[in-house]
Amino acid sequence: MGEQHVDITDEATLIGTLRLVRAQIAEKKEIEAALVEKVKTLLGEATEARIGGEPVVYYRWTKPREQVDTRRLRKEHPDLVEEYTRTTAPSRRLVLLDPATGEEGRS
């Protein structure tokens, strides 16, 4: 899988629009996080919030989940890790580069 490139100069606005949309999504996620924290603060230890007597928010505990400590397992039983590890097909990731630096950017 060698490096290949294509010139999309005629579609430059597409990349600009993608940058803008990603920035807007990031901004909305920040606003969402702030609103969620405010609601959690209002709830305190309560598990439900109501408006006009009708429930509008639940804030409940989830079930605990079990996780395998893969680092420890790999260290103590590398043979088992090798036996039960499966490799998935590679995937591609779209990375927008910062036009000023040419490096991976946030937008």
Place of tokens 């630096």: 101
CB 57 within 8 A of CB 49: yes
CA 22, 23, 28 angle in degrees (round to 5)? 95
Q: Where are the domains of the chain?
A: 9-84
Could you give the CA distance from residue 39 to residue 75 in angstroms, rounded to a whole number? 43
Please state, in angstroms and as integers, the Cα–Cα distance from residue 55 to each residue in 35, 75, 91, 94, following that order: 18, 49, 42, 41
pLDDT the model gives residue 106: 60
- The answer to pTM > 0.75 is no
- Interval 42-54: pLDDT, tens: 999 999 999 999 9
What percentage of residues in the chain have a pLDDT greater than 90?
87
Q: Average pLDDT for residues 16-26, to the nearest whole number?
A: 95
